[in-house]
Amino acid sequence: MATITVDDLTLLFFNVNSAIDQGQSATVEEARAAMAEGRTVEFVAERKDTMETMANWPAEKRDAVDALFAEHHVPEERRLAVADDGLTYVAANVVEMLQNRTFRNPASGRALSVPSATASGGVSKSRED
């Protein structure tokens, strides 16, 4: 399975945000079902007019992102302070995953600590938990 980076999830967030900005919407139930069923990328693509950047992702990357959301989405939207819109629910899940650094080593399936900027401006190394 492909490696998912912070940049990948950030790109997904920007696409969700753009769809919201374009006036697109979905129900929370539709979004929850899409994430649980491993169809997050398709769900966003259906509501976003210009998905060129994510369309360039190889199928393995899209599959990895869908698998990540299927396993790690927060099923209770109110826990993410969302009540009415499925796209904001997806966006909140992206932020939650970035905040929690929810990533897995594609070879071992073990959780990874994703590199982040250090106080000195450098980047810390990723490590398996």
Is pLDDT of 5 > 90? no
Helix (H) or strand (E) holding 104: strand 103-104
At residue 109, the pLDDT reads 59
pLDDT band, residue 86 (cuts 50/70/90): very high
Q: Helices (H) and strands (E) in the chain — how many of each?
A: 6, 3
For 6-111, give the CATH class. Answer: mainly alpha
At residue 1, the pLDDT reads 65
Structure tokens at 4: 């998912």
- Global pTM reads 0.76
**Winning range, highest mean pLDDT, from 40-54, 70-84, 110-124:** 70-84
Gap between the terminal Cα atoms of the chain = 19
**Which has the closest alpha carbon to 9: 82, 107, 71, 95?**
95
At residue 128, the pLDDT reads 44
At residue 110, the pLDDT reads 62
pLDDT tens-digit map of 88-110: 999 999 999 888 765 555 556 56
Q: Which residue has the higher pLDDT, 119 or 21?
A: 21
At residue 63, the pLDDT reads 92
User: To 10 degrees, what angle do helices 6-21 and 86-100 make?
Assistant: 160
- Tell me the three state secondary structure of residue 36: helix
Q: What is the DSSP letter of 128?
A: E
Domain spans, the chain? 6-111
